[in-house]
Amino acid sequence: IAGGPGRDHAPLTKPTTRFAAYLSAVGWSGMHVWWTETVREMEALDNASPTAIGVLCGALLEAALVAVAIPARDAKEWRQKFLSEQQPSEWKLGKLIDQDAKVFTASQKAMADVVMTIRNRIHAGKFATADGKLSPPYANQHEARQARDNLDALLVAIVEWPFIQSRLLAPTS
């Protein structure tokens, strides 16, 4: 892609495809394979599967943030303590969303929080009341659409983040 896999794209290139191009461009072939297979699995679902779509959207958002957090941490773009004190396998989606690098606007952060909330429905224990009853929220088809749309907007913000663009446009040795 002429100006870099994240930025220059055909108008109808899906954000998930743009992020896959980023993973390929930075040489993360294993992550690229996982990403494309997970996207394919999510796209095979219709909106009558809001929990599954929400879980996959949350997993993809977390993967995208982990993938950019490592180089951002190493370049001192992201400076939160947990990034250096914990292994990436211990990082939490909420902490990654709250990073201080200005990747997301306030409204995009709210969109990321929605994806995380929908994804977190898999943790049934969080819906237990003091008297031992479970009261999880219903999953609705519109939330599947919302999770997908939010993920797309967030992936665009990530691949268009100037730090990521500079990595894509940097000459390779």
> How much is the pLDDT for 131?
86
Q: Look-up: residue for tokens 């993967």? A: 63
Neighbours of 56 (CB within 10 A): 22
What is the pLDDT, as a whole number, of residue 9?
A: 56
- Residue 92 Cα to chain centre, angstroms: 12
pLDDT recorded at residue 126: 79
Q: Which residues pair with 134 in a beta bridge?
A: 128
Amino acid at 47: N
> Per residue in 83-96, pLDDT tens?
999 999 999 999 99
Residue whose entry in the numeric block shows the structure tokens 């679902």: 45
Handedness of CA 3, 4, 6, 9 (dihedral sign): positive
Q: Which residue is associated with the tokens 């907007």?
A: 153
Residue numbers in the chain where pLDDT is lower than 50:
1-3, 6-7, 173
Q: Residue 159: what pLDDT?
A: 93
- Residue 8's pLDDT is 56
pLDDT reported for residue 10: 59
pLDDT for 123 equals: 81
> What is the secondary structure of 34-59 as a DSSP string?
HHHHHHHHHHHS-TT-HHHHHHHHHH
Backbone angles phi, psi at 128, to 5 degrees: -75, 140
Radius of gyration for the chain, computed over Cα atoms and rounded to the nearest angstrom: 17
Closest to 109 (Cα-Cα) out of 126, 95, 119, 130:
95
If one counts every other C-beta atom within 10 angstroms of the C-beta of residue 7, the result is 16
pTM as predicted? 0.87
